[in-house]
Amino acid sequence: MTLRLVRLIAWEALDSGALAPLKRRAGVRGNVGVGFSLLLRCLAPLKGECPMRTISLMGLILLAAAASAAEFPLKVYAVQRVTTPPVVDGKLEDPVWREVPALSGFTYILGRAGEPADPQTSFRAVRDDRALYLAVECLEPAVKQLVTLKTVRDSPVFGDDSVEVFLDTNFDRRTYFQLVTNQRGTQYDARGMDPSWNAKWEAAGGVGEDRWWVEMAVPFRSLGVEPPAEGAVWGVNICRNRRAGPGEVYSAWATTPQGFHAPERFGLFVFGTLLDNLRQYYQHRRPAFLTRRNEIAALIREHPVAAQFQETLTGLQEEWTAIGHRLEERKSLAPEEWTAERGRLDGLFHRLEDLRWEVKFHILLNE
């Protein structure tokens, strides 16, 4: 749950009859947002005017929202362009797989969401003008217990030891394709939750002493999309169903706590370099940042009671400028560095939005 949703929840509570005295005292009308600290400060003096159970309920809502607002790290992978693509034969012997970085760090989902998975999984990805290619390796100490029963196309392959690939090619965080394969290379595919959709793609697998793996080639045409331009971004997740060993275990590259079908939580495939992508993202968000900053600065100028917030606004602007300078000076970015800088940029926007509402409510309550 994001802070924006918390504001909506809080406003619905403020809009109820029980908390009407708060709105009258603050002189608030229309649709506005509200932050945690300000809402609690406003509620404190109204205990005599509002039923205690309502205030207690609001406290529980805010605490629950705060707990659920914690996000798992955004994962990112830079997909390199190659001139000689791998052959999908399930052997992973093509030179390209030794030349591109592998990412691991898979985590459990469901009851143990976010904890490092054991055994681990790793993947590599490359592209050419025709297709996206993936190699996924699954460590497995109980390799002799692998479940690979499905051999028929579009049978429930996810019931085997299998790999699931989710592709949000529109990057709208809603629509996606699902491709599933096992060590035999048996295929299952769906568009969203619709299994009647079928595409032409390749899959092959292999098994070793302590691991098994799959190779995949997914033509862009089969997904109904053009080859991604440099700098394009897809939402992607690589997931694993483990049936070997005791119990059933589910893990994913990008943590999706309640299940794999969660496009809003997919990681990112960046087609190009991570540094160029983040520079583009910085420039894309710059006009919105400046517009919001100027709005807050105008409020402070026009309302002297809000002068105390100028220092905070200046600090946010300095942080924004510093990130831009760092991006210009860097030669490259590792995935963890991209995640950290992207987190700082997004965090600045959230803090700027919080400051805007704090300034507005401070003015409403003090003029």
> Which residue has 């030669």 as its token pair?
331
Strand partners of residue 79: 271
In this prediction, residue 367 carries a pLDDT of 83
Residue 42 to residues 81, 155, 300, 366, Cα–Cα distance (Å): 55, 57, 21, 12
The predicted-structure confidence for 56-85, as pLDDT tens digits, reads as follows 444 444 444 444 434 788 899 999 999 999
pLDDT value, residue 256: 95
pLDDT score of 87: 97
pTM for the predicted model, two decimal places = 0.75
Q: Where are the beta strands (DSSP E) in the chain?
A: 76-81, 107-108, 121-127, 131-139, 162-168, 177-182, 187-191, 202-207, 211-219, 233-242, 249-252, 267-271
Which pLDDT value is given to residue 247? 81
Using one digit for the tens of pLDDT, what is the confidence trace for 12-37? 444 444 444 443 333 343 333 344 44
**Residue 157: per-residue pLDDT:** 97
- Give the model's pLDDT for residue 297: 97
The whole-angstrom separation of Cα 334 and Cα 50 is: 52
- Please name the residues in contact with 318: beta carbons below 8 A apart, sequence gap of 6 or more: none
Give pLDDT, residue 56.
44
pLDDT confidence of residue 127:
97
> Taking the chain (367 residues) in consecutive chunks of 10 residues, what is each chunk's mean pLDDT?
44 43 39 43 44 43 43 90 96 95 94 91 97 98 96 96 98 97 98 96 97 98 95 96 91 96 96 93 95 97 96 97 95 91 93 95 90
What pLDDT does residue 323 have?
A: 96
**Selection from 332, 327, 331, 360 nearest residue 344 by Cα:** 327
Instruction: Give the per-residue pLDDT at 72.
Output: 85
